Chain A
Amino acid sequence: MIRRLGSVPVKDVRIADAAYPSPFRGGLEFSAPARGTWNIVHTGMLVPEAHEIFVCAQGCLRGVVLTAAEMGASERFSTVAVRQNNVTDGDLEDSLIEGVSDILEKLPKKPPAVLVYTSCIHHFMGADLSHIYKTLRARFPEIDFTDCYMNPIMRKSGLTPDQLMRRQLYSLLHGAPKRDKTVLIAGNDFQTDDDGDFVSHLRQYGWEIYEIQRTKTYAEYQTLAGATLCLTNQPAAFPGGELLKSRFGMPHLHLPLSYDYEEIETHYRTFCDAAGIPYPDFAALTERCEDALDAAKQAIGDAPVEIDYTVTSRPLSLARMLLSHGFRVTRVYLDGISGEEQADFDALQESAPDLLLSPTVDPVMRVRPRETGEMTLAVGQKAAYFTGSDRFVNLVENGGLYGFAAVYGMADLMRDAWQTPKDARSLIQIKGMGCSSCL
């Protein structure tokens, strides 16, 4: 039973009246119970055979320990607790080094790589991280160590923890002989869809797809460094691509996910030119998208559609495409607008001025009625939570759809979501969609 606290102010804003890039005033933040997006534990586990060690306070350890436990990965996960005595005694470096060493000595088998996550405390106390890693590498020369970060207080100071995590996934690469016709798609949580047009097109011309998700052993992971090209398509993946470029001389193409035919074509052309392969049949791919969108529109009709930012890094691009195909998109849930979305934002201000933007973290969202008054298609887990709809697309980070598949794949998912109700309460609370989970 849902108990509510009464009427509250509405914080929605018409897109025509919204400010770029921050349409809402900051303040206290609410956390909606939609947990499908990955955290730094899930992402770090992509390095095959690696062991994660988190070094932080008990309260901060709790969430990451149970993330690992829920995904059945406790054997690959350990912790060192930081307590007040470490802060007052100033022994953060020694306690980390001795704690990590103690854990490694106790593991039944030494892992080939260890991801050591330091926390806000280490950065505030000015812990000597280079000394820490240098000492650990000297003590355990057979193990590769890399620095990872759980320091959310730095989220507005340089790279965010998410960007850092996605970059550090590739910091353990040693270097490998170059292999022709290989592309490393870097920095995504999800493997790119094998059945999608992008992977199919590349394979048709003999190209091999390198992705961390496709590697099963640490040795196999090391071969990623030999890729001919690096491609990133999520904003948070960009620093990882730059790291690969600088360390291994891998040309880095940042070609963001998009729902705009013209932008997708442009990205295709850029990639195909770099790879030296022909372009795909754009007309046929566009037609496939149009067919999928027609079918979805026929099913969904004029029902309202609400989209959130967790389903895709381009929620405004998605809204724009759907609106241009006659869907009644009424609302987009987001807390900020990325640089990659500015053109979509500008265009929507003109073409759909009444489209509502709603925050997800504003405290009033805690008590806003979770119903819409009419059957609504929610696209994304947060949209499902806020609308209370059982017709929702259960997807995060676009689920590995890329190229034209982003459009026709999403259209197919929308149609299916409309036709097959789901239990949002049980589905959206599971952490790390696509990872194993004991829930």
Chain B
Amino acid sequence: MSVKQTARILSTYAGDTSGVCSALFELGGMTVMHDASGCNSTYNTHDEPRWYDRDSLVFISALTETEAILGDDRKLIDDTVRAVRDLCPAFVALAGTPIPMMTGVDFDAVAREIEEECGIPAFGFDTDGMHAYTSGASKAFAALARRLVREQGRQPGALSVNLLGLTPLDFSVNGTENTMRRVLEESGIATVSAWAMGSTLEEIMDAAKAHVNLVVSSSGLGAAKVLRERFGIPSVIGTPCGRRFNEVLVDAIRQSAENGEDRVLPVCDPAAKRVVIGEGVTAASLAAALIAETGIPARAICATDGFAELRTMQVPQATDEDDLIPLLEGAEVVIADPLYRPIVPESARFVPLPHEGFSGRIWRRDIPDLAEDLTGFMKENDLI
């Protein structure tokens, strides 16, 4: 991490607070960002493409200076309970921001009080607005896995998976989640639940039926860990991306279902001249898929929060401009969100790949669905 933590021109990834909201958006709960103002409009303007058309309950607590100084958690509890009574959500989630982090709000305790008063599950997340959305979403999915997934045996018959780590912040709203389901289904693999796009809360609660967890972004890592601990479900880390990489992915799912071992699929070539910048799992999967399709080496840089599996994937993590720029030296092709263009060396060819988690809605209509077929993207960008 650079000492100065500056961005002369780069954007910033969606924060962990938004990650919680995005992860839980479709599940019928109520998420409350404990913040003064700003997080709410940022989330629903730039981080949540479903906001206008789906009435999911995401609110802000409207914290004031006085409440923060006095540690007045009672107001948060009372306001939340009142909204629960008006709106009858299936659960409550509280997500922290910088000031509650500084004043040391005990979100677990606040959640317990709300749960007692309302009689519905309540979760507290100690997000602080200083981490990327992947961290927040991972915490939210892990909490669902810990509290709401029911004990039950594996689904009989066809091999099945849970898709873990699906949010529009990585996959936008272009139907990628449906393509993933279809790709797997065509290989005889059923999807029990998709966390959390296109699945109901009931389906999520049935996740223990699945044989394998397919972790499609680092947002799914927390849930994968819990589901392994609670139900012994193995995980395969990798994002469906292009026909050849998907064949490898399907084989890995079958092997993990048989022997119960975890697998980290995308492995990059650290010396490659083709570079993908983005969220760790999706960027590494795209790099691996390009290698599989073209035979040309490729590597990835994880620009969101780091995680242990990056080492296996041979993916460095860099967030700040000062850290990213040296990693791009010698690159011939850089594939990244268009807002990265200003820091790409002039000697490299830039291939824009918009990413909702970075540039928000600006290029939403240009975000491709790469889950099945990479050919169009490769042809369009002269990558073959």
Q: Is the CB of A103 within 8 A of B44?
A: no
Interface 1/0 per residue, A17-37 and B, CB below 8 Å: 000000000111111010100
Count B interface residues, CB 8 Å: 69
Q: Is the CB of B55 within 8 A of A98?
A: no
8 A Cβ contacts from B64-119 to A: 64-66, 68, 79-80, 82-83, 86-88, 97-99, 101-103
A244 to chain B, nearest CB (A): 28
Q: Is the CB of B128 within 8 A of A62?
A: no
Q: Is the CB of A84 within 8 A of B62?
A: no
Is B271 an interface residue, CB under 8 A from the partner? no
Residues of A within 8 A of B8 (CB): 78, 103, 106-107
Q: Is the CB of B87 within 8 A of A84?
A: no
Is B39 an interface residue, CB under 8 A from the partner? yes
CA separation between A3 and B57, bound complex, in Å? 12
Is A366 an interface residue, CB under 8 A from the partner? yes
Q: Is the CB of B99 within 8 A of A120?
A: yes
B4 partner, pick from A35, A102, A152, beta carbons under 8 A:
A102
Closest chain A residue to B26, Cβ basis: A3
The total of interchain contacts (Cβ-Cβ below 8 angstroms) comes to: 214
CA separation between A263 and B80, bound complex, in Å? 43
A149 to chain B, nearest CB (A): 12
CA separation between A152 and B361, bound complex, in Å? 24
B79 to chain A, nearest CB (A): 4
B330 to chain A, nearest CB (A): 21
8 A Cβ contacts from A1-57 to B: 1-6, 8-9, 26-31, 33, 35, 56-57
Residues of B within 8 A of A119 (CB): 98
Instruction: Kindly specify which of B9-17, B193-201, B225-233, B374-382 makes contact with the partner chain.
Output: B9-17
Residues of B within 8 A of A177 (CB): none
CA separation between A149 and B11, bound complex, in Å? 20
Is A134 an interface residue, CB under 8 A from the partner? no
Q: Is the CB of A28 within 8 A of B83?
A: yes
Residues of B within 8 A of A95 (CB): 4-5
Is A253 an interface residue, CB under 8 A from the partner? no
Q: Is the CB of B98 within 8 A of A66?
A: no
Q: Is the CB of B5 within 8 A of A83?
A: yes
Q: If the complex has contacts A33-B45, A63-B42, are A69 and B362 also in contact, measured as CB distance less than 8 A?
A: yes
Interface 1/0 per residue, B54-65 and A, CB below 8 Å: 110101111111
B: which residues have CB within 8 A of A? 1, 3-9, 11-18, 28, 32, 36-42, 44-47, 51-55, 57, 59-66, 68, 79-80, 82-83, 86-88, 97-99, 101-103, 128-132, 320, 339, 342, 359-362
Please give me the 8 A-B residue pairs with the lowest Cβ-Cβ distance, nearest first.
A59-B15, A59-B129, A63-B42, A152-B37, A153-B36, A27-B79, A28-B59, A152-B36
* 25 A–B contacts, CB within 8 A, in A order: A1-B53, A5-B57, A28-B62, A29-B62, A57-B97, A57-B128, A57-B129, A62-B13, A63-B38, A70-B362, A75-B9, A79-B7, A82-B5, A82-B98, A82-B130, A98-B4, A99-B5, A125-B102, A153-B99, A156-B64, A157-B65, A363-B83, A363-B87, A364-B87, A439-B361
